[in-house]
Structure formats: C-alpha cells, structure tokens
Structure 1
C-alpha cells in the first residue's frame, strides 16, 4: 500500500475498484498495455467472492443458468427444501421483477445466443489463465485433471444431453459408468452410476491464492495496490474521483469490478442495476489420511461440489436466494456436508463456514464494457458462478477497449447498456 500523499493527488490512467479475479485481471491487462493503474479494495486481493468458489477453470460453463430446462425444475424448488435452491420468500417478493426477467430469458433461441457469447469469453479466459498462472509462478496450483459431473441414478439421458450441448461448441467430454468412475476416483465410495468428465477443464487448489498471485505479478510489473475503503465515485470534467478512507484518487478511466457491491456504488450516478444475489456456502475439512480426491466432483442430485484444496477438501453448497448481507442459514451447507461424507470421509473441519454472494444479472451474462452515459466509466461484474474462470477474459476485453483495441472475443452480448 502506497504511503506517498502525492500518489493520491496526481491523476493516473486507470483506477480499478475491486480486487477479485475480475478486478485483478483488468488491472494486470491494463498495466501490460503501458497504462498507470491503481487497484483498490477494502481487503487483500482474492479475499472476497473470488475466494470461496470451487476453484474450477471451466471450459464447459456455456449453458446460462436460465436455460429452457429450468422450467422443468421449478416445481421441485417450490417446497424450499431442494438442495440446489433455497430462498427467502419475502426476498423473492421484493425482487419479483428480477425473478420474472430471469425466467423470461429461459427460451431456446435466447439460450443459444447467450451460450455462444459465453463460449467466446470462456475460451479467451482459459488461454489467459494457463499463461498467467505460469508467469505468476503458481503453476503448481493448476490441475489438468478435468472435473466430473456425477449422477446417482442410472439414466444416461442427462449426461448425454449435456455432452451433446458441449459438443456443439467443440468441448470434449466422456460419459463414464460406475466402473470407469471408480477408475478415475478409486478412493470415493461408489455411489455414482453415471458420470460426465469435462476433459478440457482444469482446477486449482486455492482460488484465493491464485488471485493473489496474479495481483503480485501486477505489482511486480509496476501496478499499485491500495487497501482502503471505497466511499464514492464522481466525475469532474475529464477526470474521475474515487473518494477513499485514505483520501481521493483521480484517473481518466475507472473500472467498477466490485461484484455484488457494484450496484451500490453506481446508484448515485443514476444507474439502477438489476443485480441479483445467489448466495453460496463452503466449508473445508482435513482429508482423511488414507483416501484422497483427484479432481472436483459435482454431485448433481445432491447439488454440491467436493473439491481437493490446499488444506484438504472443500465442500460447496447450492444457491440461496436471499438479501446479500442477511445472516447465514447453515441448513444447506450442513446437508451438503452430510452428503459429501457419504462420498469421501471428511476429517476435522477447518475454520468456520464461509458465505459469499454471486452477482447475477437477469440474463445470466456479465456486464463487460463502457457505461452508457459516462465516458471513461467501465463495468465488469455480474459473472454469477463463473467469475473465477472468466475474470482474465473480462479483464483483457476491458483493457483492450480502454486502449482502443479489438477485444479477444465478441463483447456485443455483454454490453452494459442492455441492462442499464
């Protein structure tokens, strides 16, 4: 953190607000274009939403959350007991316009267009991840073992449908039977009858530490990281001013990459961002000494992911629709943990349950690009479940647009003006 008062008075080229995967990636990509960049967050890089995911660097997350198959699942969610989705009824009533808009996007034509857009973002991001993690000296954290979606029921149809959807975009996968699953993961209890191995997907043992490694690389290359509370954002003439606890900073460009807190900062500028919050939980455990996990496994019916991490095993829950800052409700993660125990014995719990809020826009696509009414204001948020994967592609696109260059993928579907 800079202690030089002059640094807070002299304008810089770019201020990036938010040091999660998206913000760090944007700062790094902008710095590599020769721009003077300051990265701001109230916490150390990678300590908020980017910390708590399953660490999957996914090639296959091309299906938007609100795809046409969602309609068949809705009746099962109404009882508010399904492991994939829990909700606060009063919150749903208050946010009904968001829910209606979310469901309205679940059409075949719209889903295909959005899948095509996501594929471009994912491909650009995976290539950058594989390059950056090596350049950052953190390649030991990367596992090229794929990830496994697994079903307890005998039907092959769900796996075949997903494999066909992936194949449309040239994404490789393998359907596995019980014996093949045991061959890949010999230490788990053989509860799964069908599996789909995403062969072109990677994972990491600590998503927070990967973000921190990218941030350290940004700092080594001349970027500046400030740990301070961000208070407000305003524009005077051609310059943006960010008020912080440490004093004001000014810049020609400012990037809002604050994840679930982005809408709060933009509201005084006249933007009403339709941002939903998909809360999720995880808990970590020591691995049992005689049994291990080789890759993340998504248990489809029980709606949890169990993944090997640096300190042992992490179990992540399904979605909770509730106010961003409401008190935690632990029933969902407790049910996920109990189900995970039946797959792999879990050792001692490490620390407390973690909770985060995935920021989601009604069409399940992030906002990537310029704000519609304020030149020099750039937005990068709303990445729902795939922000860790897609941060590098988002950052590269934003930096390219700021520099007047062509982004590495088609950004038309991600333009912020579509929701503002």
Structure 2
C-alpha cells in the first residue's frame, strides 16, 4: 500500500519536503491557506546563502546589545512590550549566544548551507526556471574606512571555512557594480553565493513541478492537527485530510498548530519588510548587495530593485511600522540611482528559535509528526536539503547531513 503524507505549509521548506517525499513514492497532499510561495518565501532577498554560516546570536551579539536598546540601529527595531511578554525566550536567546556554542553552530549551519546552490540549480532545471538563477555572488559593502578591518576579518573567517571571497577597494567595487555610487570604500565579494530574480516565482515553480508529478495541493487554512488512530488528521475550512504522516512547515505559524498538541517548540518570529523601486537612467545591479551600515539588501528582481529592511521584533500580527524600511530606502537612494516605488510595501515574518538553528526531525512523543521550520533568514536557501533530510528520515535512509543539531527534542520535551 502506498504511504501517504500531509505537508502543511507551501513555502520553500514545505514544497521542498513535498517534492522529496514524492520522489520516494509517497503520495503527498500539500496544504496552505495561500498559493505556494506567497508568504515568507516571497519576501526575502532571493539569496542562496551558502556563506551564511554564523548564527545571528553569536558571541558578538553581547557587544551590540547596548546599541540596539534605544532602537537607533537600522538593523533592529525592538518592541519592549513584545519582548517582555516572553522574557524567558529572550534570555534563552542571549544564553545561546555564549562562545562555547559558536563552533558547533557554525559547523551545523555550514553543513546545512554548503550545497545550497547545486541543489537549487538541479531543482530549477527540473522545474524549467533555470533562467531565474544567478551564480555571480553577492557583494557586502561598508561606508567607512573602518570597514577595511571588518572586511578583512570576514574574509579570513570565510577562508578558514573553505569559502572564497575577494576584498574590493572603491575601484574594484565600481568594476563589478558600475551602477553604484562611489560611497563605499571597501566591499567583500563572495562568488559562491547564488541568487534568484523572484523567490516567490521559484517556489511556485517547484510547487508546479510537484503537481506535474502527481502531487495534490489544497488551498485551505489549517485549523487543527490531531492523531486519529494510525493516521494524522488536519482540519481545515475545506474539510479534513488524513495521512500516515504529517509534516509541519508553517514557518512562523507552526507553533500555533503544535501547542494544542502539548508541544512548545520555543518558536518566535522576526518581522521584515521590502519594497521595490525602479532604477533610474538604465542603471542595474548584477547581483544582490548588502549595505552593512544601512542594514539592508538591495537585490535586482523581476519586479524592480528590492530593498529589504532590518529585523522588526514586534508582535507577529501587529500593524506595520515602516520606520526601518523608510530608512533603508533612503540609504539605498544614496547608494544607487533609484526612482519611483513599484507596488505596495510588503511585510512578512520569519520563524526563529533561540539557538538560531532550524528544527528538522520527528516530534518527541508523536510518531509520524515531522517538523521543518525555524530557519530564520536562510529558509529559502536551505529548503531543498531540509526536504531531503525529512524524506530520508521518514523512509529510514541516511540523511544527507547529520540531523542531530536540528533535532526537535532540544526544545520540545
């Protein structure tokens, strides 16, 4: 008898899990309230981040805390009311940044991210969207001379981990990105990083590939999940769906579904914004660039040049606060000739766990319930390997990397 699976959540992680399970002969139903790739997977910078191997809560966080507290840093907006509702989570996040944990976390993230580009390249070819892939790196930029030391330190760190990079002076930056205004004295080019021109369209193409191979997609909001005898049943406004296993890949909404089961994954969210602007005078970036001092990505997209904001630590469903994205837009205009805004400003949420690592594996005490969420800023990058890890463990195969650092049991008891 054919095994069956429900995958709840049609972002990059969920779609990747559905494809990987399907490849192993499992009949998969993919369920989401919106079309595939319409939530968190839509709103990122489109970077395939093979060099994102340092967790956000690394030891350097302690030195930056004082600068964050007054909400004067473009990288972070902190709602104290929100922070004080979960002081235990915040304290755990800070505790997890201790130096003794850094090397193991870096190793785990490198294992998770190092195959990002080839895995996406293969999937894009299968889905017929190879034209959306760029393999010309990303460029990190500093506005002050002090950036030379920071660029050198990052270059040395990446080299120790086998990742090539190139330090560029002002002339070198102009050579690779002639459209940028000459306000950056130093940059770091990381050639191995890839990017795409529409993260949402790539996710939707992977979902279309899943359907073309016989997969089923149901657009309905999942309102509940329960074990019924030998199967898992998801309740939705469109009715109930049952299968042998269930994979929860609902990103920042995953905890809402798990808590009625008595499972607390210690999940929180980081909000973020983006907006698109048209370039002026025929100028165009060849790759995503990150302005360290402005705390924004500017990435060439199908819709225009996308400007992303720093992290907004407000309640997940609180009204928009455009202070960060407005600041990022002003900084981006200093760096590049940008014209009118295209469309509406987008807001989304990213799922985050206290140790800055995702949760990938079977839920404790709940056989057949698999979890794939908490990837913070790298979920779009790591969707394919996460799907392969989940599918391999479901089928009793050796996963492509050691899943131990990502086990759900580190927070769920």
Q: CA offset at residue 290 of structure 1?
A: 2.1
Q: Secondary structure at the match of 1:342?
A: helix
Instruction: Report the equivalent of 1:214.
Output: 206
Change (3 A) 1:362 1:158: same
Aligned mate of 1:340, from 332, 336, 349? 332
Instruction: Report the equivalent of 1:297.
Output: 289
Instruction: Report the equivalent of 2:231.
Output: 239
Structure 1: distance between partners of 2:184 and 2:401: 37
Could you tell me whether the CA contact under 8 Å between 2:133 and 2:197 is conserved in 1? Answer: yes
Q: Secondary structure at the match of 1:100?
A: helix
Could you tell me whether the CA contact under 8 Å between 1:12 and 1:38 is conserved in 2? Answer: no
Structure 1: distance between partners of 2:402 and 2:53: 15
**What does 1:151-230 align with in structure 2 at a 5 Å threshold?**
151-155=142-146, 156-230=148-222
- Calculate the aligned-residue CA RMSD, in Å: 1.2
Instruction: Report the equivalent of 1:375.
Output: 367
Aligned mate of 1:64, from 55, 62, 75? 55
Q: CA offset at residue 95 of structure 1?
A: 1.7
Instruction: Report the equivalent of 2:342.
Output: 350
Q: CA offset at residue 70 of structure 1?
A: 1.1
Aligned mate of 2:118, from 105, 127, 136? 127
Structure 2: distance between partners of 1:115 and 1:157: 21
Structure 1: distance between partners of 2:102 and 2:188: 22
Structure 2: distance between partners of 1:405 and 1:27: 17
1:136 aligns with 2:127: yes
Could you tell me whether the CA contact under 8 Å between 2:50 and 2:116 is conserved in 1? Answer: no
Give the TM-score taking structure 2 as reference length: 0.98
User: What runs of 5+ residues in structure 1 fail to find an aligned partner?
Assistant: 1-9
Q: CA offset at residue 127 of structure 1?
A: 2.5
Q: CA offset at residue 274 of structure 1?
A: 1.1
Instruction: Report the equivalent of 2:80.
Output: 89
Greater Cα shift, 160-169 or 367-376: 160-169
Instruction: Report the equivalent of 1:3.
Output: none
Structure 2: distance between partners of 1:325 and 1:234: 25
Number of equivalent positions: 411
Instruction: Report the equivalent of 2:280.
Output: 288
Greater Cα shift, 252-261 or 149-158: 149-158
Could you tell me whether the CA contact under 8 Å between 2:50 and 2:115 is conserved in 1? Answer: no
Q: Secondary structure at the match of 1:65?
A: coil
Give the TM-score taking structure 1 as reference length: 0.96
Q: CA offset at residue 250 of structure 1?
A: 0.7
Structure 2: distance between partners of 1:88 and 1:331: 13
Structure 1: distance between partners of 2:9 and 2:398: 24
Q: CA offset at residue 11 of structure 1?
A: 9.3
Q: CA offset at residue 12 of structure 1?
A: 5.8
1:313 aligns with 2:305: yes
Q: CA offset at residue 126 of structure 1?
A: 2.9
Q: Secondary structure at the match of 2:97?
A: coil
Aligned mate of 2:41, from 50, 58, 73? 50
Q: Secondary structure at the match of 1:285?
A: strand
**4+ runs of 1 displaced by more than 6 Å?**
none
Aligned mate of 2:65, from 62, 74, 80? 74
Structure 2: distance between partners of 1:214 and 1:248: 25
> What does the per-residue CA deviation read over 1:282-340, in whole Å, with 9 as the maximum and x for residues that have no partner?
00112224211111110001101101000220000000101100001011100100110
Q: Secondary structure at the match of 1:279?
A: strand
> What does the per-residue CA deviation read over 1:129-187, in whole Å, with 9 as the maximum and x for residues that have no partner?
11101111101000111001110111321112212221222111111111100101101
